Amino acid sequence: MVLNHYETIYIVRPDIIEDTSLLIVNEYKTMLKKNGGQNIFVQHRGRRHLSYNIKNYYDGIYVQINFEGNGYLVSLLEKSMKFNDAIIRYITIKQVKSQQVTI
């Protein structure tokens, strides 16, 4: 089965304590592994000021997850994030591997 490369960035509410934020990261990492995700790499991007107000928050904690998986895995991840009150925004993009062309 061919796995695609994805990058998910989500923003956690700024009033969430660090322990809870780490629990959220581990929850998603475990979910990805359990459902066939591979090469999972998580980066904490830290607290950043938002360009505009989202749900009455002016800043948020950014987390980036890079992984290999399929469309079902992405929909499962995003559905879980949709119903998580600690997450104020998320986006997943499919990364296209560039192919070298020799002339």
Instruction: Write the pLDDT tens digit of every residue in 5-59.
Output: 999 999 999 998 888 889 999 999 999 999 999 999 999 998 999 999 988 999 9
Asked whether the predicted pLDDT for residue 64 surpasses 60, the reply is: yes
Question: Residue 55 in 3-state DSSP?
Answer: coil
The span from the CA of 9 to the CA of 88, in Å, is 11
Residues 6+ apart with CB under 8 A from 24: 12, 16, 63, 84, 86, 87
pLDDT band at 98; cut points 50, 70, 90:
low
Q: What is residue 96's predicted lDDT score, i.e. its pLDDT? A: 82
pTM of this structure: 0.84
DSSP single-letter state for residue 97:
P
**Phi and psi dihedrals of 86, rounded to 5?**
-80, -20
Q: Which residues pair with 2 in a beta bridge?
A: none
User: Domain extents for the chain?
Assistant: 4-95
CATH code, residues 4-95? 3.30.70.60
In contact, 86 and 16? CB cutoff 8 Å: yes
Q: What is residue 76's predicted lDDT score, i.e. its pLDDT? A: 95
Q: What is residue 97's predicted lDDT score, i.e. its pLDDT? A: 72
